Amino acid sequence: MKDIVLDNLDLHIIRLLEDDGRQSFSLLGEKVGLSKTPCWNRVNRLQSAGVIEGYGARINPEKLGLEVRAIVQVIVEFTNYKAFEQAVNKHRSIHWCQAITGEFDYIMEILAGNITELDSLLREDLSGLPGVHRFTTSISTRVIKVAKGVSGR
C-alpha cells in the first residue's frame, strides 16, 4: 500500500462516500467545493492508495429472514489457525470474524433464520471447523449501533 497524506478535503470526501458511495462525482465535488474531474482524481488517489477498499450495499439481514444474531467466541488449536481461518472465510453463515487477544482466539457473528438453524450451525458446522477446541455463544437481542465507516473518529 502506498503511503498517503490525507488532508481535510480527503477526509470530507471519505465521510461523504461512507454515507453514500453511489453519489456521482459531480454531486460529491459540489459538496466539497471541487469540480467533477478534480473530485474524481482525489477519489481515484484514495482508491489507489488503499484508503478506499471498495463499495457495497448494506443489507438488512432480517429482511433476508436471518433473524438470529449470535456472537461466538472461539478457542482454536494454534497449529490449525490457518485452516480454521480458511474455513471461516468460506462459510456463508459467518457474517464477520476477527482474531482477538485474551481468553479466546476469535470472535465472530453468525446469522441464522431461527434458533433451530443456529443450533445446527453450532453443533454441525462450527464445532467441525479445523482446530476448534471450544466456543461460547451469546444471542444478540438487538443491534444498538452499526458504524457506516471509520472516518467519524
The pLDDT tens digits of the residues spanning 41-70 come to 999 999 999 999 999 888 889 999 999 999
Amino acid at 99: A
pLDDT at 148 over 80: no
Domain limits, CATH 1.10.10.10, in the chain: 8-48
CA–CA dist 1, 51 (Å, integer): 9
The crossing angle, in degrees rounded to 10, of helices 8-19 and 25-32 is 130
Q: At the topology level of CATH, where does 8-48 sit?
A: Arc Repressor Mutant, subunit A (1.10.10)
Sequence-distant (6+) residues with CB within 8 A of 20 are none
Instruction: Give the CA dihedral 102, 120, 145, 64, nearest 10 degrees.
Output: 150
Q: What is the pTM of this model?
A: 0.80
Q: Tell me: the pLDDT tens digits for 17-33?
A: 998 999 999 999 999 99
Fold of 61-140: Alpha-Beta Plaits (3.30.70)
The yes-or-no verdict on residue 143 having pLDDT over 70 is: yes
Distance CA 44, CA 2 (A): 13
Q: Within 13 Å, how many C-alpha atoms sit on residue 87's CB side?
A: 14
Range of weakest confidence among 30-39, 68-77, 138-147: 138-147
CA atoms within 13 A on the CB side of 44: 7
Outline which parts of the chain fall under CATH 3.30.70.920: 61-140
SS (H, E, C) 39-86: HHHHHHHHHHCCCCCCCCCCCCHHHHCCCEEEEEEEEECHHHHHHHHH
Per DSSP, the residues of 114-151 read SHHHHHHIIIIIGGGSTTEEEEEEEEE-------S-ST
